[in-house]
Amino acid sequence: MSNYYNWKEKINENELRKVIEILKNDGIIIFPTETVYGIGGNALSNAVIDRIYKVKRRPREKAVNIMVRNINEIKKYAEITSELEERIIKNCMPGPITLILKKKKNFGDYFTADNTTIGIRIPDNKIINTILNNIDFPIIAPSANISGRTSGIEVSDIMVDFENKVDAIIDGGKANLGLSSTIIQVIDGKINILRQGRITKEEILNKIQEI
């Protein structure tokens, strides 16, 4: 049975400790971000990865992105190979953006569908950021929906599909932005939009020029 935690008003410290223990023991949780709700667990655990793919009914040929807490964590798992990538990270993260980077050797092979790249995001939400700041591993974090269906923006959208299939559901209220992150990749020195989300290319360009 899934534990339900209502953190709409504030994060409960006792429940936070329980969530951290769940993640450290290969459990999976549903949590809010500023974009949509996510489903996540330890990205270093193959058992967790298998479980999330199964619960979401996600085809294994579709890669999964990760969330980390800061730029130093990004550098543990991916290579920042251009000044433009560096500027995007420094000026657009935390925020509703997922950046595709060259992944570090021997990391992420189990969930990146044979790609040499990996998608990484630093979210801008107090709840998931607090969780990330209390663990020492990245989490894989696809949206909390059955593959192919609309992403959930509040817990009521999600319960029917995931109740009793995850270890904890954290209710942080309605996601502020209500639209998935924009996925981008720098190719030949230019920003390419792979999935249009809440933030536009023009907004990204404006942010990275504000130096």
pLDDT in tens, 34-83: 999 999 999 999 999 999 999 999 999 999 999 999 999 999 999 999 99
pLDDT of 210 strictly over 70:
no
pLDDT above 90 covers what percent of the chain? 93
pLDDT of 211 strictly over 50:
no
User: Which residues span the domain enclosing 33?
Assistant: 3-208
**Mean pLDDT over residues 101-124, rounded?**
96
Looking at residue 208, its pLDDT comes to: 92
Which residues 6+ apart lie within 8 Å of 93 measured at CB? 71, 99, 121, 122
0.75 surpassed by pTM: yes
Distance of CA 120 to the CA centre of its chain: 7
Number of domains in the chain: 1
169 within 8 A of 18, measured Cβ to Cβ: no
pLDDT of 98 strictly over 90:
yes
For residues 16-44, one letter each, b for 16 or more C-beta atoms within 10 angstroms of the residue's C-beta and e for the rest, the string is beebeebbeeebbbbbbbbbbbbbbbbbb
CATH value at residue 107? 3.90.870.10
Place of tokens 């390419």: 192
Confidence of residue 134 (pLDDT cuts 50, 70, 90): very high
Average model confidence (pLDDT) across the chain: 96
pLDDT of 154 strictly over 60:
yes
Place of tokens 């979401």: 56
